[in-house]
Structure formats: structure tokens, C-alpha cells
Structure 1
Amino acid sequence: MACKTYLVEDSALIRDNLVGFLEDVGEAEVVACAASENEAVAWLHSHRDDWELAIVDLFLLQGNGFGVIKACRDRAANQQVVVLTNYATVEMRERSHALGVDAFFDKSSELDLLVDWLESRRAKH
């Protein structure tokens, strides 16, 4: 069964490519997308039970992914949050983990690790 995934990514080109990639390779069902922090937070608050996985970029058209991650703090036990960014510095990883993300991946070099993580998640559920 496909994992209901919420994608927060500001680049339309990357977003479109990720939707196809996640649905084909990650066996995910992308239920909605957002390009800004405000849009993402509003969707998360009004759709609390409509997602199982949120994949969040850190730099957005408005605001940033940290605000989106904070909005996920009171998520259900079956919901997980992943950061997928081009800004995969040690500081960004540490800050994201301190805010409670379940995993952190570099868009440019760790998509294979994301796929492995998705497969591991699927095996557990």
C-alpha cells in the first residue's frame, strides 16, 4: 500500500520530478504539495490525519522548512518527517534532528539513501 506523502518543495521542476520519483521508486502516493512555509503549515493543520510522510525542503519561496518541521511536532506516531535539501550541512542536519525529523537527506547525493529509508519504512509498516 502506498505511503500518503506530503511534499514541501519550492522548485516546480524539482517538485514534479520528485512526485514521479516518489510514486515510481518510493511507492508513495503524493497527496499534496506546497511551495511555501505558510501554505505547508496551513495544509498540515487542516489535514492532520491525511498524511503518513512529510518530505520537506529547507529553503522555500516564503519562510523555511524549519517552520514546517515545527508544525509537525504534534504528529501521530505513524507520521514521519524527512528533510530533503541541497543544503545538507552539518549545522542543518543537527538543527533538523533537534526539531524532531526522522531522517535527513541531501538532494544531490543521497537519493539512493532516501530510497533505502523508504523501503525500510515500508517493511516496518
Structure 2
Amino acid sequence: MELKAFIVEDNATIRENLIGALEELASIKVLGWAETESDARGWLSQPGAAWDLAIVDLFLKQGSGLGILDALRGRRPGQRVVVLSNYATTDMRKRCSQLGADAVFDKSNEIDALIDYCMQQSHARA
């Protein structure tokens, strides 16, 4: 089953490569993307927003991925939020988990783990 995802990433090259990899390898349909906390919060918090997975970077053009995590604490059951960041330290992973992240992945060496996570989520919904 195809997951519907929203990407929060302000680096265009990373975002485009990520979208391509997710759509090709992990049965993901990307519904949209945002570069700022406020744009992401607005889109993801819409009543009836039909997303299954949000992939959030921590450092954005404006705001922070931590603010997005906090805003999504009341998301619908089954909606997953993961962090994809170059700053996936032990302390940051703990903070993200406290704010409701379902998983945290390091951009530099855990892209395969993110793809595996997405595939598991797709299979779980099937």
C-alpha cells in the first residue's frame, strides 16, 4: 500500500533526491513539501489532512523541526512523524522522541534505514 507523505526540508537538492528515492524504493507518494516551520505546521495541521507520514528536518529556513514535532502531538492515530537530520545526536534523538517522533534518522548514514522504515509502514498498512 502506498504511503502518503509530506516532506519538511529546506535544501532543494536533498529534498528532490529524497522524494525520488522514496517514490522509487519505498511505495511513497509525496503530497507536498515545506521549507519552513510555519508552512509545514499549516499544511500538516489542516483538518482532514490525508497524510500518513511526515519526514521532518530539524534545521529549517525559518523555525525548527522541533516546533513541528510539538505541533503534531495530537495527530491522528496511524500518522507517523520521523526526523531526518544531520544532527541526530543521542541527546537530539531523545528530545525528538519526547516530542513524539516515531523515529530519527541521520541524513549522512541512515537513509537506507529510513527507506526500510517506510517500507515496513507500507506493509503494515496493507
TM-score normalised by L of structure 1: 0.95
Structure 2: any 5+ residue segments left out of the alignment?
none
Sequence identity (%): 47
Alignment of 1:1-125 (within 5 A): 1-46=1-46, 48-125=48-125
Q: Secondary structure at the match of 1:122?
A: helix
> Which has the higher mean CA deviation after the structures are superposed, 79-88 or 115-124?
115-124
> Which has the higher mean CA deviation after the structures are superposed, 108-117 or 58-67?
108-117
> Which has the higher mean CA deviation after the structures are superposed, 85-94 or 44-53?
44-53
Higher RCO (CA 8 Å, separation ≥ 6 residues): 2
Q: Cα gap change, 1:3/1:124 in structure 2, threshold over 3 Å: closer, same or farther?
A: same
**RMSD, aligned CA:** 1.1
Contact 2:43 2:49 (C-alpha < 8 Å) held by counterparts: no
Q: Displaced runs of 4+ in structure 1, greater than 3 A? A: none
Distance 1:26 1:121 in 2: 9
Q: Secondary structure at the match of 1:46?
A: coil
Shift of 1:118: 1.4
Aligned residues: 125
Shift of 1:49: 2.7
Distance 1:10 1:48 in 2: 25
Shift of 1:17: 0.8
TM-score normalised by L of structure 2: 0.94
Counterpart of 1:3, as a letter, is L
